[in-house]
């Protein structure tokens, strides 16, 4: 039998194909809800043939994602104060923060979080505790310890980026590495 797996499926089986959200499935295990075809092959939501794609139900299989915010001083050292907002598109947990400056210098950025309903976030909504992301006489920094941080983010949360202090850095990229939940 030549051709792709799709060409081997009788046309009446193609009519049965439907996309269902996992939340719509009841009394079904993770390995039972994918459409089975007459030749015993199945296609998971990730498009992999086989009875069960082991990665399909593994949250880390989707990979980590990053939430990135850029602060630009427009050719001058970045000034202190609130620089803007970012909406969190999905539920996740922060696993690392990276800061990359355009040049060597020092900068401290606090990150505030609040719900959309309670917008705007304020200093009292800080998620960084006593360990805000900091570059000290360097061009970059990275922290995966995140001591005291509130790491859980919900879809729709609003993050605010506030520069507490800055010397020399004119453009900064703040990257939050997150794992989807």
Which tokens is 6 given? 């799709």
**Whole-angstrom distance, CA of residue 166 vs CA of residue 78:** 6
The residue among 34, 57, 80 that closes a domain is 57
**Whole-angstrom distance, CA of residue 166 vs CA of residue 136:** 10
Each residue's pLDDT tens digit, 81-135: 999 999 999 999 999 999 999 999 999 999 999 999 999 999 999 999 999 999 9
What domain range is 6 assigned to? Answer: 1-57
User: Are both 72 and 138 inside the same structural domain?
Assistant: yes
**Whole-angstrom distance, CA of residue 62 vs CA of residue 57:** 9
User: Are both 121 and 144 inside the same structural domain?
Assistant: yes
User: Are both 37 and 68 inside the same structural domain?
Assistant: no
User: Are both 174 and 99 inside the same structural domain?
Assistant: yes
pLDDT reported for residue 37: 41
The residue among 57, 83, 102 that closes a domain is 57
User: Are both 29 and 45 inside the same structural domain?
Assistant: yes
pLDDT band at 140 (very low <50, low <70, confident <90, very high): very high
Query: What percentage of the chain has pLDDT greater than the value 70?
Result: 65
The structural domain count of the chain equals 2
Each residue's pLDDT tens digit, 6-63: 555 454 444 444 445 555 555 555 555 544 444 444 444 444 444 444 444 455 555 6
User: Are both 6 and 39 inside the same structural domain?
Assistant: yes
**Whole-angstrom distance, CA of residue 97 vs CA of residue 76:** 24
């Amino acid at each position: 039998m030549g051709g792709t797996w799709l060409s081997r499926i009788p046309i009446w089986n193609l009519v049965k194909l439907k996309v269902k959200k996992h939340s719509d499935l009841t009394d079904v295990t993770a390995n039972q809800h994918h459409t089975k075809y007459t030749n015993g092959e199945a296609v998971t939501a990730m498009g992999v043939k086989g009875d069960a794609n082991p990665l399909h139900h593994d949250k880390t299989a989707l990979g980590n994602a990053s939430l990135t915010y850029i602060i630009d001083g427009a050719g001058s050292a970045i000034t202190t104060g609130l620089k803007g907002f970012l909406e969190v598109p999905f539920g996740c947990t922060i696993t690392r923060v990276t800061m990359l400056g355009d040049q060597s210098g020092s900068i401290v950025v606090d990150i505030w979080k609040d719900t959309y309903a309670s917008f705007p976030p304020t200093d009292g909504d800080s998620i960084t505790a006593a360990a805000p992301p900091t570059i000290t006489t360097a061009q970059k920094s990275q922290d995966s310890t995140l001591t005291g941080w509130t790491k859980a983010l919900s879809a729709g949360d609003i993050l605010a980026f506030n520069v507490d202090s800055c010397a020399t850095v004119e453009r900064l990229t703040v990257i939050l590495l997150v794992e989807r939940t």
